[in-house]
Amino acid sequence: IYLLMVGRAILEDRQRTVRVPLAELAIANTLEWLRRDLPHLRVPGDIIVDYRIRPGSPDLIETFNRGQVPLANDTSFGVSFGPLSETERLVKETELLLNAPETKQKYPAIGEDIKVMGLRTGEEIRLTISVAFVDRYVSDRDAYEGIKEDIVRMVQDLAESITRRRVLVAVNTADPVEREGSVYLTVTGTSAECGDDGQVGRGNRANGLITPYRPMTLEAAAGKNPVSHVGKIYNATAQRIVGRILEEIPEVKEVFCYILSQIGHPITEPKALNLEILSDKPLSIIAPHARRIAEEVLDDWMTTQEGFLERRWTVYY
């Protein structure tokens, strides 16, 4: 596997007295993450980690160094919505269940590369699940099929706690029905080992889902700096605003949040922040409270920034 890290970064402090050992930091932290999150991957051995990270343009570096409040380094937008629908919750919690430490301990054959697609048609939800099996823990085809059946049961048990709708679960549907032929076995627990290319931006949005029937941004929250890159910051900010509105204003049934930046302006002063709220209560009653929440979250930019460093925001899906 070949992993190439690319992007722009500031290599010196503001006084240009300290040079950041970017190559060492980037590679060391990436290897640490790979060892922790992809335990079946031999590091080093199964993967080559390379980097092509270079300094940014002088104007963006100057923008980064200006002001007490960080200035937006791009004109972009972040979005969020809530609450999740039953289908959305089921998709997200299925992946979390199958990648949970307890599940891995009981079923070491379940690799980390797991994809879940959910489709609701009326009162029926169909889940199609792709699971990369780790070959060293699968003795034969019967054992493979047995684990697939256990996955179906686990997910159906989970579904009972989320929805009353009928839930149908299918696992690794490309496997041949007959006992001869290729099944989804890997050495490392991820399809990256053979025939699968990927890059930041092709995966889940900041809420851990890909939701074509919901508002989304094409900005990838992962891989951007948590100081001034609004493609990262405004997605988490929008999630915080939506979460607080749903928690603090019980009359709100659904809320959508859209935040637009303008390059060079403080991240606390977006060009636009739009809230769409569904409630039985008059908007005149709810709007002042919702506006106050949005303003408080914007002003509390340090908490948003620290949340990335502490991995409290879900941008690592």
CATH number assigned to the domain comprising residue 266: 3.30.300.280
CA distance 147 to 135: 12
Residues 138 and 184 grouped into a single domain: yes
**Domain of residue 122, CATH code:** 3.30.300.340
Residue 23 identity (one-letter amino acid): A
| E strand residue ranges, the chain | 2-8, 48-54, 77-82, 110-121, 124-134, 166-171, 185-186, 252-260, 272-279
DSSP 72: P
Q: What is the structure's pLDDT at 17?
A: 80
Average pLDDT over residues 191-220: 81
Residue 48 identity (one-letter amino acid): I
Q: Which two tokens stand for residue 9?
A: 């970064």
63-67, 133-137, 272-276: range with lowest mean pLDDT: 63-67
In a domain, 199, yes or no: no
Residues 247 and 163 grouped into a single domain: no
Is residue 196's pLDDT more than 70? Answer: no
Q: What is the structure's pLDDT at 316?
A: 61
Residues 240 and 294 grouped into a single domain: yes
Give helix then strand counts, H and E, for the chain.
8, 9
Is residue 317's pLDDT more than 60? Answer: no
Residue 82 identity (one-letter amino acid): G
Which has the higher per-residue pLDDT, 19 or 275?
275
Written as one string, the DSSP assignment of 30-66 is HHHHHHHH-TTS-TTTT-EEEEEEE---HHHHHHHHS
Nearest 5°: the CA angle 77, 79, 80 is 165
Residues 217 and 303 grouped into a single domain: yes
CA distance 97 to 119: 19
In a domain, 266, yes or no: yes
Its domain, for residue 303, covers 77-84+207-309
Cβ neighbours of residue 102 closer than 8 Å, sequence gap 6 or more? none
Residues 172 and 131 grouped into a single domain: yes
Is residue 187's pLDDT more than 70? Answer: yes
Percent of the chain with pLDDT over 90: 64
- Residue that terminates a domain, selected from 140, 160, 193: 193
Average pLDDT over residues 83-99: 97
In a domain, 72, yes or no: no
Q: What is the structure's pLDDT at 201?
A: 65
Q: Which two tokens stand for residue 210?
A: 């890909």
What's the whole-number average pLDDT of the chain? 90
C-beta of residue 225 within 8 angstroms of C-beta of residue 76: no
CA distance 95 to 171: 12
Beta bridge partners of 80: 257
Q: What is the structure's pLDDT at 19?
A: 84
Q: What is the structure's pLDDT at 221?
A: 82
Average pLDDT over residues 44-62: 81
Q: Alpha-carbon torsion 220, 101, 32, 132, what sign?
A: negative
Beta bridge partners of 285: none
| Preceding amide of 288 cis, omega within 30 | no
Q: What is the structure's pLDDT at 311?
A: 84
Is residue 309's pLDDT more than 90? Answer: no
pLDDT classification of 155: cutoffs 50, 70, 90: very high
Residues 224 and 304 grouped into a single domain: yes
